[in-house]
Structure 1
Amino acid sequence: MIVYKKLEKILQDRNMQWKSLCNAGISVNMPAKFSKNKPMNTDIINKVCEYLHVQPSEIMEWIPDAEYNKANEEKQAIEAQIAELQAKLKNM
């Protein structure tokens, strides 16, 4: 699985938001795809790299699918726990 955590970190370090990538000449739905680790074609990656003046390896990395899926499941479990605790707090 290709993930774009490095891109997110670059944007944070530069005080930019995902939507700032639209200035690279990509469509408005592409930043959301990056933030959700959706597949990207090389033209889009090229535009973002040119815009940020970085190499592709600086914005993305490969994680084995099993590792990604496990981390994603853990994240969803934690988010469910948070939602449950927030609901309990609301009822107090």
Structure 2
Amino acid sequence: MRAVLTGLIWGMLLAYAAALALFLLGQFGLMGVERDPLSGVFLIPLGLPWNRMIDLFPQPSWPWLAALAPLLNIALLIALRALLPRPSQARK
């Protein structure tokens, strides 16, 4: 089970890195990319359910909170993996 969670954590980290890169490119128009208001759309499913609570904060912080919401899910996966027992090193 730890191996499955480890793979899931790495998959989430890769997906988050790609979605965050697309968000930053589209938000600021970096490297000649046109500014796009929908550049953060790939961060939304990665940050569920936390990004559903973003409207409790001031509106100027919404894009940045949406960009950080997936980190909560990744942290929860890491904590869950830490709770699982390690496979024994010496099996007899």
TM interval, shorter chain, is: 0.3 to 0.5
Compute the TM-score of the two structures, normalised by the length of structure 2.
Answer: 0.32
* Greater relative contact order structure (CA < 8 Å, 6+ sep): 1
TM-score (norm: length of structure 1): 0.32
**Which of the pair is proportionally richer in strand?**
1
Q: In proportion to residue count, which structure has more helix?
A: 2
